[in-house]
């Protein structure tokens, strides 16, 4: 059932997940700028961390639905 608290909760979680992924992306950018030769490793680590957060975001999305 889609109720207003459900939607607000899901929205809050999605905002949190968005901020988290943004932080990861930003930090990875900084790290790559500092050490361009390590960009491959940084990218991998970034994608894994982003994927883990994304999972939570999607779980919230489906619970809100």
Q: What is the DSSP letter of 3?
A: -
Told to check if 29 binds other proteins by CB under 8 A, we report no
C-alpha 65/C-alpha 51 separation (Å) is 21
Closest distance of CB 36 from other proteins, Å: 18
C-alpha 46/C-alpha 34 separation (Å) is 15
Closest distance of CB 13 from other proteins, Å: 13
Over its C-alpha atoms, the chain yields an Rg (Å, rounded) of 15
Q: Tokens 């929205």 sit at which residue?
A: 11
Please select the residue that binds other proteins; options are 16, 27, 62, 64, rule is CB under 8 A: 62
Comparing CB distances to other proteins, the nearer of 8 and 47 is 47
User: What residues make contact with other proteins under the rule CB under 8 A?
Assistant: 40, 44, 47-48, 51-52, 54-55, 58-59, 61-62
């Amino acid at each position: 059932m889609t109720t207003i608290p459900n939607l607000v909760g899901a929205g809050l979680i999605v905002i949190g997940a968005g901020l988290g992924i943004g932080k990861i992306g930003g930090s990875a950018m900084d790290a790559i700028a500092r050490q361009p030769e390590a960009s491959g490793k940084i990218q991998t680590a970034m994608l894994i961390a982003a994927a883990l957060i994304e999972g939570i975001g999607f779980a919230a999305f489906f619970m809100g639905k």
